[in-house]
Amino acid sequence: MKSLYPLLCVVVLASCGGPAQKQYGIDARVDSVLNLMTLEEKIGQLNLPSAGQFTTGAAENSDIAKKIENGQVGGLFNIKRVAAIREMQQIAVEKSRLKIPLIFGMDVIHGYESVFPIPLGLSCSWDMELVERSARIAATEASADGINWTFSPMLDLSRDPRWGRISEGNGEDTYLSSQIAKAMVKGYQGDDLSANNTIMSCVKHFALYGAAEAGRDYNTTDMSRQRMYNEYFPPYKAAVDAGAGSFMASFNEIDGIPATANKWLLTDVLRKEWGFNGFVVSDYTGVSEMIAHGIGDLQTVSARAVDAGLDMDMVSEGLLNTLKKSVEEGKITEKQITEACRRVLKAKFQLGLFDDPYRYCNEERAKAEVFTAANRAEARKAATESFVLLKNEGNILPLKKAGTIAVIGPLANNRENMTGTWSVAARFSESVSVMEGLTKAVGNSAKLVYARGSNLHEDAAIEERATMFGKSLNRDKRSAEEMRSEAVRVARSADVIVAVIGEGAEMSGEASSVTNLELPQTQRELLKALLQTGKPVVVVLFTGRPLVLKWENENLPAMLNVWFGGSEAGDAIADVLFGDVNPSGKLSTTFPQNVGQVPLYYAHKNTGRPLRGPWFQKFQSNYIDVSNDPVYPFGYGLSYTSFIYGDVKLDKSSITPAETLTVSVDVTNTGKYDGAEVVQLYVRDWVGSVTRPVKELKGFKKVMIKAGETKTVTFQLTKEDLSFYNYDLKWVAEPGEFSVLVGGNSSDVKEAKFTLE
Ligand code: NOJ
């Protein structure tokens, strides 16, 4: 292997390992490579084309292969499998002049082949060990298959369910998302980035992408710095603090400048204020899209991007094709390009690619470590923890494994849609469908009968748009009436109906924004017909976003929201429906009553005219037609058991900034099942130099409590938890009165007060 590097081994010394490695730090090693490079070669390192997928052997004659050979490529993505990756790497390290290895990226978003729940679902587990483990497993599988860089975690806070990409994030809350940021980065990167089973994370999309106007993807964002710093920025910053190796600039503009060329964002905030020292890549054609944004031609936008602090160009090739000219014309300096190149090379050193460019190319590992029974078992467990029990009137759930169960709905008998959006490495046709999961679970103890009941959507054109990327639901040609009457006939023969409905996998995700948050009419009609049979109806709801479930909540006795649970979804759904696992997920986003309430989120400001007392009140902040309440608040989720909260106890009524406040509360499991409860702690700062939210999550603990048992749950609050960015964007805790609010969701809390001196 080392013989591939005669030149580098002489000059770089340390990159060949051995005692020199200890003697020379990465920076010196990067410098020694930079010293060998021409301007063109430096620019080449900033280029990230999409590989497409080559069949082995075909790569050599491709355009990309020629570019790699010419030193015009820094890395590749959209390429899968060790053989294909090895082939590309070989061209780089054997045929290019400087033999600099490529970095290989992929959207490993919620698992690799063992697919975990979509991020929005996983965030509802509120289980940070689980989140970290999911990223660890994803990294192990991806790195075994040749990948060393993932475009994850996605940390765009979103309070707009119309935005399809809300499914890829962690919901509406700053604190929860920040905890998840840390867990994900740690899971991917581990303690040693150069280990062959860890991969570099790429935090995206920096920044504010989740606040796109009208929930329409790629749209403008515009918000105050107050809101950026206090609400939207902290998750990204948490990822920097956790050591994330790279960032991706977002598509949207901020303050009139696209993020990809926004110097304030990429340099002043990210690097100078937060101390980020990794590299920044654009999003897919993010550089050339700035032409359409209207800030210049390709040369101008490319120079502006590098000047702003962008280091790598995904797909546009604007940097590759124009930077040299910009240097010659004095629009940017070679030094700026050297700095960008330095950051890209540094990442490659950190990943150990200079020591062994094939570090992640081990066919044996690929065979042994991907889609293993153990990883799939973890994915199944994670899925059960992500499910949120929305309603369970008369304790219909858990179901008995007895009698006849009718399984009905467009998503009941489908494998391809189980993994949800952004699961590019998944083996779609090997996921466990709901029907399969339930069939295995009941064995011979119960009889299952099935009918499709409806198509996904009454409008075939919408269904087509919603089932792109190989996740077709094979639209049924029969009329809606025919399908419904078959379903009713089947349902009548059963003791209980499980209606498996909701969104298809690609109804959320990128470029899947909607203006209507209700279930498609044809599915609603199906539910009505099933209800008319008089049999108990349990809804298993697939969705990648908060939906408007007002009618469903009023009319259906039981609803389990399963998001998109991943490759093992069907088994996990069976685990929870039959009570082998007691659901414990809690919503990380608010579910509104209608789309007109959006954005609706718990940590809102009070206004000067808050609604005090019941809706409606003239000249107070409310609507004539609908109350301000959600259908389900942030933090909400039921269990098969019930929990009662005691009073909130504080160890002091007043603390100095140097002191810690201990908060404790007794939580009793008053039901018949053992269960896990997510105990949530919110804080309210009553008077500030700027207005403060009515409550903000500042702590949570997921505790297992046996039936009949009481557990005392304690939290420690410090000055940090009471701090915020003031008008001058200084991080301060201001003296005064605070409330601590503890409960099982954001609406149902008990309160105690204290003073910060
Ligand atoms: C575009 C998406 O916005 C981004 O999230 C993704 O990582 C890139 N494409 C690469 O696939």
76 and 39: one domain? yes
Residue 596 structure tokens: 């007109």
| Distance between CA atoms of residues 268 and 254, nearest Å | 14
Q: Are strands 736-743 and 749-756 parallel, antiparallel or unpaired?
A: antiparallel
Pairwise CA distance, residues 60 & 41, whole Å: 20
Question: From ligand 1's centre to the CA of 81, what distance in Å?
Answer: 19
Using pLDDT thresholds of 50, 70 and 90, give the confidence band for residue 620. very high
Q: What is the pLDDT of residue 658?
A: 98
Q: Decide if 43 is inside a domain.
A: yes
Q: Are residues 668 and 548 in the same domain?
A: no
Q: Which two tokens stand for residue 163?
A: 């935005």
Distance CA 483, CA 534 (A): 19
The reply to whether 536 and 574 lie within a common domain is yes
In a domain, 421, yes or no: yes
Do residues 178 and 69 both lie within one domain?
yes
What CATH number is associated with residue 277? 3.20.20.300
pLDDT at 724 (0 to 100) = 98
Last residue of a domain, one of 309, 331, 366: 366
375 occurs within a structural domain = no
Over range 69-78, report the average pLDDT.
Answer: 97
> Which residues have a Cβ under 8 Å from the Cβ of 225 and sit 6 or more positions away?
729
pLDDT at 362 exceeding the cut of 70: yes
Please compute the mean of the pLDDT values over residues 170-198 and round it to a whole number: 98
Residue 372 lies in a domain: no
Residue 700 · residue 681 · CB < 8 Å = yes
- In this predicted model, what pLDDT tens digit does every residue of 48-66 receive, in sequence order? 999 976 544 556 667 899 9
Same domain, 540 and 649: no
357 and 218 in one domain? Answer: yes
Neighbouring C-beta atoms of residue 270, cutoff 10 Å:
26
Give 135-179 pLDDT, tens digit per residue: 999 999 999 999 999 999 999 999 999 999 999 999 999 999 999
Nearest CA to ligand 1 atom 11: 107
Dist. CA 250 → ligand 1 center (Å): 9
Q: If you average pLDDT over residues 278-283, what whole number do you get? A: 98
Ligand 1, atom 10, lies closest to the CA of 284
Closest atom of ligand 1 relative to the 424 alpha carbon: 11
Q: Which atom of ligand 1 is nearest to the CA of 78?
A: 11
pLDDT at 20 over 70: no
166 C-alpha to ligand 1 centroid (Å): 14
Q: Which atom of ligand 1 is nearest to the CA of 205?
A: 5
Q: Which residues contact 54 (CB under 8 A, 6 or more apart)?
A: 62, 79, 84, 87, 88
- Catalytic residue (one of 127, 160, 173, 283): 283
Same-domain check for residues 107 and 245: yes
pLDDT average, residue stretch 398-406 = 98
Q: Which of 285, 510, 512, 513 maximizes ligand 1 atoms within 8 Å of its Cβ, making it the mutation to test the pocket?
A: 510
User: How far apart are the CA of 430 and the centre of ligand 1, in A?
Assistant: 25
Least confidently predicted of 50-54, 291-295, 303-307, 528-532: 50-54
Residue nearest to atom 4 of ligand 1 (CA): 283
The answer to whether residues 153 and 203 touch, using CB atoms and an 8 Å cutoff, is: yes
pLDDT tier for residue 21 given thresholds of 50, 70 and 90: very low
Active-site annotation holds for 459 = no
Give the domain range for residue 749: 643-756
In this prediction, residues 393-420 reach a mean pLDDT of: 97
Copy the structure tokens of residue 26.
Answer: 């990465």
Of the pLDDT bands very low, low, confident and very high (cuts 50, 70, 90), residue 731 is very high
Place of tokens 């039981």: 558
Report which protein residue has its CA nearest ligand 1's atom 1.
Answer: 284
Q: Ligand 1 centre from 315 Cα, in Å? A: 11
Q: What are the tens digits of pLDDT across the range 440-476? A: 999 999 999 999 999 999 999 999 998 877 677 889 9
- 35-50: average pLDDT: 98
User: Which of 566, 584, 602 is where one domain is finished?
Assistant: 584
Domain count, the chain: 3
Interior angle at CA 504, CA 502 and CA 510, nearest 5: 120
pLDDT of residue 202 exceeding 60 = yes
Rounded Cα gap, residues 224 and 77, in angstroms = 35
Would the pLDDT of 19 be above 90?
no
Residue 737 CA, ligand 1 centroid: distance in Å: 44
Reported as a single tens digit per residue, the pLDDT across 232-272 is: 999 999 999 999 999 999 999 999 999 999 999 999 999 99
Domain-embedded: residue 136: yes
pLDDT of residue 61: 65
Domain shared by 400 and 347, yes or no: no
The pick from 53, 80, 204, 289 for probing ligand 1's pocket by mutation, whose C-beta has the most ligand atoms within 8 angstroms, reads: 204
Mean pLDDT of 659-683: 98
Atom of ligand 1 nearest to the CA of 251: 3
Residue 17 has pLDDT above 70, yes or no: no
Check residue 166 and report its DSSP letter.
G
Ligand 1, atom nearest to 202 Cα? 7
pTM of the model: 0.96
Token pair 């090693």 is at which residue? Answer: 29
Angle, helices 334-350 vs 26-34, to 10°: value is: 130
Ligand 1 pocket, mutate which of 155, 314, 315 (most atoms under 8 A from CB): 314
Single out the residue in 315, 335, 366 at which a domain terminates. Answer: 366
Ligand 1 closest atom vs CA 152:
7
Mean pLDDT of 358-378: 97
Measured in Å, residue 181 CA sits from the centre of ligand 1 at 18
Predicted pLDDT at 472: 79
Q: Provide the pLDDT for residue 756.
A: 98
How far is the C-alpha of 228 from the C-alpha of 659, rounded, in Å?
A: 29
pLDDT of residue 53: 61
Model confidence at 16, pLDDT cuts 50, 70, 90, reads very low
- Which amino acid is located at 415 in the chain? R
Please state the φ and ψ torsions of residue 330, each to the nearest 5 degrees: 75, 20
| CA angle (749 as vertex; 748, 755 as ends), nearest 5 | 155
pLDDT per position as a tens digit, 692-728: 999 999 999 999 999 999 999 999 999 999 999 999 9
Average pLDDT, the chain: 95
What is the pLDDT, as a whole number, of residue 13? 39
User: Confidence band (pLDDT; 50, 70, 90) for 80?
Assistant: very high
CATH code where residue 520 lies? 3.40.50.1700
The verdict on residue 74 lying in a domain is yes
Three-class HEC string of 596-652:
HHCCCCCCCCCCCCCCCCCCCCCCCCCCCCCCCCCCECCCCCECCCCEEECCCEECC
pLDDT digits (tens, 9 = 90+) for 522-550: 999 999 999 999 999 999 999 999 999 99
Tell me which residues have their CB closer than 6 angstroms to ligand 1.
107, 151, 204, 283-284, 510
User: Could you give the CA distance from residue 457 to residue 551 in angstroms, rounded to a whole number?
Assistant: 18
Is residue 298 over pLDDT 80?
yes
Residue 136 C-alpha to ligand 1 middle, in angstroms? 21
Nearest by Cα to 387 from 575, 135, 645? 575
3-state secondary structure of 530: helix
Residue 113 Cα, ligand 1 centroid: separation in angstroms? 18
For residue 376, tell me if it sits in a domain.
no
Tell me the best of 284, 288, 422 to mutate to test the pocket of ligand 1, counting ligand atoms within 8 Å of each CB and taking the most: 284
Please report the atom of ligand 1 found closest to the CA of residue 151.
7
Q: Is 77 a member of any domain?
A: yes
Mutate to test the pocket of ligand 1, among 106, 248, 506 (most ligand atoms within 8 A of CB): 248
Residue 718 belongs to domain with CATH number: 2.60.40.10
The dihedral built from the CA positions of residue 439, 445, 451 and 455, taken in this order, carries a sign that is: negative
- Shared domain for 469 and 356, answered yes or no, is no
**Per-residue confidence (pLDDT) for residue 59, from 0 to 100:** 62
Q: What is the pLDDT of residue 15?
A: 42
Shared domain check, 414 and 361: no
Answer yes or no: do 573 and 650 share one domain. Answer: no
Read off the amino acid at residue 732. V
The residue length of the chain stands at 757
Task: Give the number of other CB atoms < 10 A from CB of residue 448.
Answer: 16
Question: Are residue 351 and residue 416 in the same domain, yes or no?
Answer: no
Residue of minimum CA distance from atom 3 in ligand 1: 283
